[in-house]
Amino acid sequence: MSSDCIFCRIIAGEVPSETVYRDDRVTAFRDIRPVAPVHILIVPNKHIASVNEAEEADEAVLGRLLLTAKRLAVQEGIAKSGYRLIINTGPHAGQEVFHLHLHLIGGQRMRHPMG
């Protein structure tokens, strides 16, 4: 845990959030600036700054991020219509919080092109 990381503080319960899922590896909560009707952030409970800092030992938690996204898409009623999963890595990609996180976005038709 990093005491200056907002997501670490959310995981620790120090900052309020609308948590929708939590287990021993990941926590998921609604984004405070949603870009779609469903916009959930799924984060590892362990502080990993970005994909670039992930290690072989993190393989299980990285897989848990995707499986949690699938579970939440079903729970939110967007699995059949479709959803977007986004991981931004680094400032040029738009990463604002340097704690690895997966955006689950859906509930409306997504726009193209990306980038």
Residues assigned a catalytic role: 101
Tokens of 70: 């699938």
Bond preceding residue 113 cis, omega within 30 of 0:
yes
3-state secondary structure of 35: coil
